[in-house]
Structure 1
Amino acid sequence: MATPGTLVLAGTPIGRVEDASPRLARELAEADVVAAEDTRRLKRLTTELGVTVGGRIVSYFEGNESQRTPALLEELEAGRRVLLVTDAGMPSVSDPGYRLVAAAVAADVPVTTVPGPSAVLAALAVSGLPVDRFCFEGFLPRKQGERARRLAALAGEERTMVFFEAPHRTEAALAAMAEAWGDDRAAAVCRELTKTHEEVRRGPLAELAAWASDGVRGEVTVVVAGAGPEPGVAADDDSLRAAVDEREAAGMTRKEAIVEVARSAGVPRRVVYNLVHSKGPR
């Protein structure tokens, strides 16, 4: 029996080709088989990198993933090195790859990775939200009822959440999040990360949904704060009032202070407003 080859999962640029690693270029040149989500995009990438693929190129996308996996596993079991790339980012992360990885692991075929750009980590890093604990939820269901049920199940999730979303569904997704978790839940919409027209919009979910109503273009990653208070501002009445007082003393208007405290504590803005104004004139 032949010594098995190796399955290599390679991260590809999510925007700028300069983000491609030297190891990615070497693996593309040396692999026996390159399985690509889109062979045309692979061709553009290798041309920009100045790399010639030395092995056989096969397509491997959502529509043929199940059918192609057994053949690729045979290549691996025959001792060949198979490189898997998707259009952008890391294979198997909301992209084709999981079936082949699972099959290789079950067959005791070595699996390794060429680390690369990740929209998930890039969005987390620039979001301004807590990143010490987070979870990735991929794409929300397209149907309204299924999406609402998914969001309801995440209502108590305390970790920062990361989602992928199609541009034409971004407004609906943000509005559904606001309905499920509150208008004032802090979030960030990261659009076209690392590309020429990169844009990061931060704010409460309701404000972001209103912004998205004008239309969103490009690749979208949404980061949303988890449930419960964020570090720094407790959610009890006295702490919320004190936090507003501190910000007003530092020069903020009362409205600005209320907005920031509500966002930081993870509570609706109206709760902080009512607490502050229940004390009477100051």
Structure 2
Amino acid sequence: MNFFSYYSCREKVKIPKTKPYITLIGAGMNATTITWDDTAATSLSTLKSATFSVMSLGFVAKDIAFENTAPPPPPGAVGRQAVAFQISGDHSALYNCAFLGAQDTLYDHKGRHFFKDCWIQGSIDFIFGDGLSLYESCVLYAIDTPSGSLTAQKRKTADENTGFAFLNCTVTGTGLVLLGRAWGAYSRVVYLYTHLDVVILPGGWNDWGIPSREKTAFYGEYKCWGRGADIHNRVAWSHQLSDREAAPFMSTSFIDGRSWLSSVS
């Protein structure tokens, strides 16, 4: 998909904790873009590299694109993380938005979030963080890279209620990617009713080079289809979910959405 903008705003934006319940509405993800080009090296941290940062409660965005135009990093590059959008605020919803970048595009840092009908584009760990988030009917687009990963979820303990669920999504692109890497010891990611294109590497999942995480991370797939959904070469420690195991991830109840979504939408 080619993105172009009728209106492009080139600046870094940060919404602080003291500014809750802000709604941002554009003219469409192909029409309104907020863009910048910082990296972890130029801004001195991955968090600070974000083009757009949200720290506040109850943020809503509709019909807008968030972009980091820093070029994709070569293999082994240091400090090239380049966040397009970072969210640390609780009770946030994003509809028909695009998140455009390469390494570390969308920093789903912490809090409960709902992403609906969004386009998320990147190469390495391009959805990452320790949020509790439901991605529904989104497109995850892997750009060219020797190999990358869609997610790096950072759940740290068994008692921590965080994780990413992808429901009725599409995974496609021109690169090759894993479904996820275990950034946290108890990393939790599931894909449900999702079309997985040929871009998915056969093993599917990675333990971050720490074999003990194979015993604690929870990675699952449920009724996915497409050339990338072939389970024959999946790592043995991932899960093909039963109906009962998939049920908790299948609605906004996963993010306690019934208690807050109607108030911010």
Return the TM-score normalized by structure 2.
0.26
Determine which structure has greater relative contact order: mean sequence separation of CA pairs < 8 Å that are 6+ residues apart, divided by chain length.
Answer: 1
Structure showing the higher helix proportion among its residues? 1
Structure showing the higher strand proportion among its residues? 2
